[in-house]
Structure 1
């Protein structure tokens, strides 16, 4: 795995990466307005309050948009070629990869239910999403 694919934690993102290493998806929630948001920052993106905290979320999402990368960069061939924007059940959108499905538009229906999974990238773990199984009530690992 190429080093440029390994995410780097910062003080603002450390709880996100620690959660991913534990197999849980964490994002921030504002205690002033109650909204969840992503990407990590010190203040709420909606009301600008600094009264924010990290919370574990459901890991359920819906496919909002995607592209299939047919010409991967050298060193990225092992990654899913499906690069997607997913909308978390809690509201925020997240850029990620879709795994566990053949990279064909016939298999990638917009608004399809997804569930979080995690895969290693170097010495870090990143959240990815896969189609939700129809028999799963929980939706998380």
Structure 2
């Protein structure tokens, strides 16, 4: 666990199912019970049809890097100890309009430190993993995935 960093409240009724999912290593996304529109971050009302009814569905946790940053000093003191690190904004495979921020890790069980920003690229495939930052807070983090198992393009010949 990482100490002294600001953490989200996990008991807010609007997004508590999201945090319950992360503690079980599941990426749950809120969707409208009326029109089916998926949304993130969670909200009390659907932005498409204004329904207040929602449900939560598990998604694959696969996506592509839409943007990324390497935070520089000055940082909050708690984050200084973590640098250098890369934070990614990831568009989910199920719906590219759904984007989730999280740190890139060196591996599934890896550390936040050590990701070489020069090897990170927009469009790079990633998969979610979960890292505990406190006893009740498991944050979604991202790990780079190989483009394909053969190292070749996806084009068929």
- The TM-score bracket by the shorter chain reads 0.7 to 0.9
- Give how far 1:16 is off: 0.5
Matched, 1:96 2:132: no
Gaps of 5+ in 2: 108-113, 150-157
Count how many residue pairs are aligned between Structure 1 and Structure 2: 135
- Residue in 2 aligned with 1:55? 57
After TM superposition, the structure 1 stretch with the greater mean CA deviation from structure 2, 87-96 or 15-24, is 87-96
Listed as ranges, the gaps of 5+ residues in structure 1 are: 136-141
- TM-score for both structures, normalised by structure 2: 0.76
- 1:42 is matched with which residue: 41, 44, 48? 44
Q: Distance in 1 between matches of 2:138 and 2:78?
A: 17
Q: Deviations over 1:26-77 (max 9, x none)?
A: 0101232222110111221222222311111110111000111133432222
Q: 4+ residue runs of structure 1 moved beyond 6 angstroms?
A: none
1:126 and 2:122 correspond: no
Q: CA deviation at 1:119?
A: 0.4
Whether the 8 Å contact between 1:64 and 1:110 is mirrored in structure 2 is: yes
When the two chains are superposed, the root-mean-square deviation of aligned CA atoms in Å is 2.0
Does the Cα contact within 8 Å between 1:3 and 1:122 map onto a contact in 2?
Answer: no
